[in-house]
Structure 1
Amino acid sequence: MHSFWRRVRYLLLCLLALCLLCIPLALAWAAYQAIDDQALLTAAPNVSPARVASAQRLIARNDPRKQPAGVLRSVQLGEDELNLALVYLASRYPHTRAQISLQEGAVQVRSSSFLPPNPFGNYLNVQAVLRETAGLPEVEQLLLGRLVVPPRLANPLLRWGLTRLQTHQNMEGAAAALDSIQHVGMRNGVLRVVFTWDDTLPAQLQAALVPSAEQDRLQAYQARLVTLAAAPGPRSLPLSKLLQDLLAYAAERSGTGNSADENRAALVALAFYVNGKGLGAVLPSARHWPVPAPRQITLGGRGDTAQHFSISAALAAAAGTPLADAVGLYKELDDAEGGSGFSFNDLAADRAGTRLGALLLTSAGQQRLQKRLDAGLRDTDLLPKVQDLPELLQAAEFQRRFGGVDGAGYKKMANDIEQRIAALALYR
């Protein structure tokens, strides 16, 4: 009898050892199947001024704040508009490409993400088909690389993820947005989302989209701006002076941490201050922070130039260079339609600000800037001489003289601007 139970225990131990061995092997096999050497999507996102303008019109047309709270609302989005929204989202992750295709009663989502070094491959490619239901869509097909994930497994995982989202303490806004959605339908090349509008939803979403660590960083730089703006001196301050102090403070705060995150927060806080907007416009908690005293911030002696430069630097640091260029250019085209007119001077400030924002995200760029900070940062380090560039061009004159943004005249001027910026030591 004792011999029998010894054999049973031995058999159980062998089975346990086999299970422990099979689990990592199964996980390794799944990773091998899911990760590819080549990207499914390789084309860079197309973010043109026309597409940015289309997105702005779309937002204005579907602004739910114009409707009473508690009523059912619907938003209809075409395939191009959905893909533009994906560009905005993916711009936060420069190594990710995504694409949406609408089908009758379904939507196909494809994405490619470049992965850190690993023994399996370079890219995680995802292909999914979501099928319309009475409520939220469900997964009909899911492919991770070459790994097929059956719907009976994918949908419980999706529901589990949504439940986790709704119960996570830092994602109340996302949970509220999810709860407000009543139905998602796909018909005739249009995705239609039916939801119940709640006036508190924007604030909840904004808070959810900005991680608490990022909010703490922004608050630290706003507090620094409060101190700088309260210092005695002339009402007008050069942008380079503020930038010098904030970036030195960023280097001090980063220590052995992520200096790119600190630089990004510094640029965002600075941009909202220079442009006369409080961070409360995008971050509800910031409405209760101390506010810096208003000062006139200039670049090359001009306030509008400082505004263009700072907002483009923040956009580049936060969203990537192509998006910052497109938004900056759209702003100028909008001016030409009835504002101050198209200004190559402002466009130069947009492009230079974009260069600075992108520079601060790389270790080599940070080292180059640190040398300039040690020597003392000046306005002329940030922006070349641009006083001779044409400005105040109304739409008709801009079209006649430069052929619009696709014209040879415009391209020649834009190339000249890029050469002037590239000649500055900071951007070489």
Structure 2
Amino acid sequence: MRFLAKSLAALLLSAAVILPLGVVGLLVLAWYCTDHQPSVVRLAVTTPADLARALRLAERNDPRKAAPGVLRTITLTPEELDLLLPHLAAQLARGQAVAELQDGRARVQLSLPLPSSPFGSWLNVQGQLVQTEGLPRVQALRLGRLELPQAVSDWLLARGLAWLQQNPGLGTAADAVQRVQITPQALSVVYAWHDGLPGPLQAALLPPEEVQRLRAQQQRLAQLVQAPQPQGLALHELLQPLLALAAERAGGAKATPEARAQEQRAALLVLAFYVNGKGLQAIAPAAADGPSPRPQRVHLAGRGDLAQHFSVSAALAAVAGTPLADAVGLYKELDDAGAGGSGFSFVDFAADRAGARLGALAVGPAAAQERLQRRVAAGLTEQDLLPSVRDLPEFLPQAQFHKRYGEPGSRAYKRMQADIERRIGTLALYR
């Protein structure tokens, strides 16, 4: 009994010493690894010129044009990498990123948001990717002020690759990559494309719950357009029931802002793909496995092109934020003003801006979402979505546009932009 008592006392004494030391160790680790400010401060702002570069990049590296099994190379210049990294970091982890290409290595910095704590609300990561015969090796990895030993960096990389292999889609994509080459002039990824890659990769990048949201909206849309309409359908006739379904699926009046935003984002995505004559197969094949919605013309203010502009900008704003949606709309209009285009249209631009405003409401703060749902419950009309724009200039060739308004950002252009914003702002939905 005495031996048992001594053993228990020793165990309690050890616990009294070791546990506090463990807690202290964790606190010290948290203090070393976290910061109050991000080390990378960049805004993922996209300009029309950026979009033009991104479109050329996607066209140049479209893997679907490659024969199965043939090695292909995606080459990114420092400027192109600088364009893509902020958006990738923002979309995947709501963070910020920057990379500097060197000879055989790349210096990468990440700033990732963390739950707020006394130690800081940012994890700043800095490291080097060193070129090898296959995938790069992580070297000199630093978390905040803590520099990790190489053995720990190697272990983390191995664990990350093992996690990728457990995910069918991402593992398939990782296996397709043969090697990565790094020079100061470019980052080149050599991969072998095969026909089975898109499906698993899309499935991996799109969570099952998101597929369910899209499928539910797709099925509701198929019901709405089942009967043929010779004159087509007004955009609000589809938008209202889809947003009503989103509110119902989110939990009605008790819905959290996050749940409501997720459901409304799915509604806007499904609507945009339908209005623009595209199928959900492009982003979510599993969500499109039910009845296909009957193709019908959808119009806004009597025009199909305005419904297309509005719906695409709403979906983009809900997914990527209004700066990207604004840039896409402006890029489209500047492109139309060029040779072979229909000309710059401030009418289309107004539809872009109104759509972006709606998308921002759909995923914005709780008060904005509630305002949108109140209008949906009361019954949306066409006048709720878009102000009168018939008097705005359109079909302006490039030469005429530059003569009257100069470049975007000029005083004349800003006056037109302010007038459009004022008109949209008079609508109750956007106040």
Q: Aligning the two structures, in what range does the TM-score lie when normalised by the shorter sequence?
A: over 0.9
Q: State the partner residue of 1:250.
A: 246
The change in CA–CA distance for 1:152 and 1:32 in structure 2 (over 3 A counts) is: same
The 3-state SS of whatever aligns with 1:230 is coil
- TM-superposed deviation, 1:409: 2.4
CA–CA distance in structure 2, aligned partners of residues 164 and 91 of structure 1 = 22
- TM-superposed deviation, 1:231: 4.5
Would you say how many aligned residue pairs link Structure 1 and Structure 2?
424
Identity %, equivalent residues = 51
- TM-superposed deviation, 1:399: 2.0
Moved more, 130-139 or 328-337: 328-337
CA–CA distance in structure 1, aligned partners of residues 375 and 119 of structure 2 = 42
Residue 194 of structure 2 is aligned to residue 191 of structure 1: no
What amino acid is aligned across from residue 334 of structure 1 in structure 2?
D
- TM-superposed deviation, 1:24: 2.9
Q: Which aligned pairs between 1:380-419 and structure 2 lie closer than 5 A?
A: 380-419=383-422
- TM-superposed deviation, 1:367: 1.1
Q: State the partner residue of 2:203.
A: 207
CA–CA distance in structure 2, aligned partners of residues 63 and 167 of structure 1 = 27
Q: Which aligned pairs between 1:215-226 and structure 2 lie closer than 5 A?
A: 215-226=211-222
Q: Which aligned pairs between 1:106-125 and structure 2 lie closer than 5 A?
A: 106-125=105-124
Contiguous gaps of at least 5 residues in structure 2: none
Q: State the partner residue of 2:272.
A: 271
Q: Which aligned pairs between 1:138-157 and structure 2 lie closer than 5 A?
A: 138-157=137-156
The 3-state SS of whatever aligns with 2:225 is helix
Residue 285 of structure 2 is aligned to residue 284 of structure 1: yes
The 3-state SS of whatever aligns with 2:91 is coil
Q: State the partner residue of 1:353.
A: 355
Would the aligned equivalents of 1:142 and 1:149 in 2 still touch at CA under 8 Å? yes
The 3-state SS of whatever aligns with 2:291 is coil
The 3-state SS of whatever aligns with 1:69 is coil
CA–CA distance in structure 2, aligned partners of residues 422 and 95 of structure 1 = 29
Q: State the partner residue of 1:133.
A: 132
CA–CA distance in structure 2, aligned partners of residues 164 and 29 of structure 1 = 28
The 3-state SS of whatever aligns with 2:393 is coil
RMSD, aligned CA: 2.0
CA–CA distance in structure 1, aligned partners of residues 412 and 108 of structure 2 = 40
Q: 1:306-325 deviations in whole A, cap 9, x for unaligned?
A: 11111111111111111111
* Residue among 325, 341, 344 paired with 2:343: 341
- TM-superposed deviation, 1:15: 2.8
* Residue among 363, 378, 383 paired with 2:366: 363
Contiguous gaps of at least 5 residues in structure 1: none
Q: 1:313-345 deviations in whole A, cap 9, x for unaligned?
A: 111111111111112222222222222222111
Q: State the partner residue of 2:39.
A: 40
Would the aligned equivalents of 1:235 and 1:295 in 2 still touch at CA under 8 Å? no
CA–CA distance in structure 1, aligned partners of residues 342 and 203 of structure 2 = 34
CA–CA distance in structure 1, aligned partners of residues 81 and 297 of structure 2 = 39
What amino acid is aligned across from residue 181 of structure 2 in structure 1?
G
CA–CA distance in structure 2, aligned partners of residues 81 and 142 of structure 1 = 24
Moved more, 89-98 or 158-167: 89-98
The change in CA–CA distance for 1:219 and 1:298 in structure 2 (over 3 A counts) is: same
Residue 7 of structure 2 is aligned to residue 18 of structure 1: no
The 3-state SS of whatever aligns with 2:344 is coil
The change in CA–CA distance for 1:4 and 1:369 in structure 2 (over 3 A counts) is: closer
Would the aligned equivalents of 1:226 and 1:292 in 2 still touch at CA under 8 Å? yes
Would the aligned equivalents of 1:94 and 1:320 in 2 still touch at CA under 8 Å? no
CA–CA distance in structure 2, aligned partners of residues 89 and 303 of structure 1 = 32
Would the aligned equivalents of 1:137 and 1:184 in 2 still touch at CA under 8 Å? yes
CA–CA distance in structure 2, aligned partners of residues 94 and 317 of structure 1 = 17
What amino acid is aligned across from residue 211 of structure 1 in structure 2?
P
CA–CA distance in structure 1, aligned partners of residues 354 and 334 of structure 2 = 18
Q: State the partner residue of 1:372.
A: 375
The 3-state SS of whatever aligns with 1:127 is strand
Residue 225 of structure 2 is aligned to residue 229 of structure 1: yes
Q: State the partner residue of 1:31.
A: 30
Moved more, 324-333 or 113-122: 113-122
What amino acid is aligned across from residue 274 of structure 2 in structure 1?
Y
What amino acid is aligned across from residue 269 of structure 2 in structure 1?
V
Q: 1:59-93 deviations in whole A, cap 9, x for unaligned?
A: 11122222211111111101121122223323436
Q: 1:141-167 deviations in whole A, cap 9, x for unaligned?
A: 222222222221022112112111211
Would the aligned equivalents of 1:91 and 1:323 in 2 still touch at CA under 8 Å? no
- TM-superposed deviation, 1:103: 1.7
The 3-state SS of whatever aligns with 1:134 is coil
Would the aligned equivalents of 2:212 and 2:287 in 1 still touch at CA under 8 Å? no
Moved more, 120-129 or 187-196: 120-129
Would the aligned equivalents of 1:112 and 1:124 in 2 still touch at CA under 8 Å? yes
CA–CA distance in structure 2, aligned partners of residues 377 and 292 of structure 1 = 22
CA–CA distance in structure 2, aligned partners of residues 54 and 115 of structure 1 = 32
CA–CA distance in structure 1, aligned partners of residues 79 and 10 of structure 2 = 60
The 3-state SS of whatever aligns with 1:207 is helix
Q: State the partner residue of 2:97.
A: 98
Q: State the partner residue of 1:298.
A: 299
- TM-superposed deviation, 1:276: 1.0
What amino acid is aligned across from residue 302 of structure 1 in structure 2?
R
- TM-superposed deviation, 1:6: 5.5
The 3-state SS of whatever aligns with 1:391 is coil
Would the aligned equivalents of 2:280 and 2:287 in 1 still touch at CA under 8 Å? yes
The 3-state SS of whatever aligns with 1:92 is helix
Would the aligned equivalents of 1:177 and 1:205 in 2 still touch at CA under 8 Å? yes
Q: Which aligned pairs between 1:69-80 and structure 2 lie closer than 5 A?
A: 69-80=68-79
Would the aligned equivalents of 1:129 and 1:140 in 2 still touch at CA under 8 Å? yes
Residue 178 of structure 2 is aligned to residue 182 of structure 1: yes
The change in CA–CA distance for 1:53 and 1:232 in structure 2 (over 3 A counts) is: closer
Residue 243 of structure 2 is aligned to residue 241 of structure 1: no
- TM-superposed deviation, 1:304: 0.6
What amino acid is aligned across from residue 416 of structure 2 in structure 1?
M
The 3-state SS of whatever aligns with 1:342 is coil
Moved more, 220-229 or 113-122: 113-122
Would the aligned equivalents of 2:228 and 2:296 in 1 still touch at CA under 8 Å? no
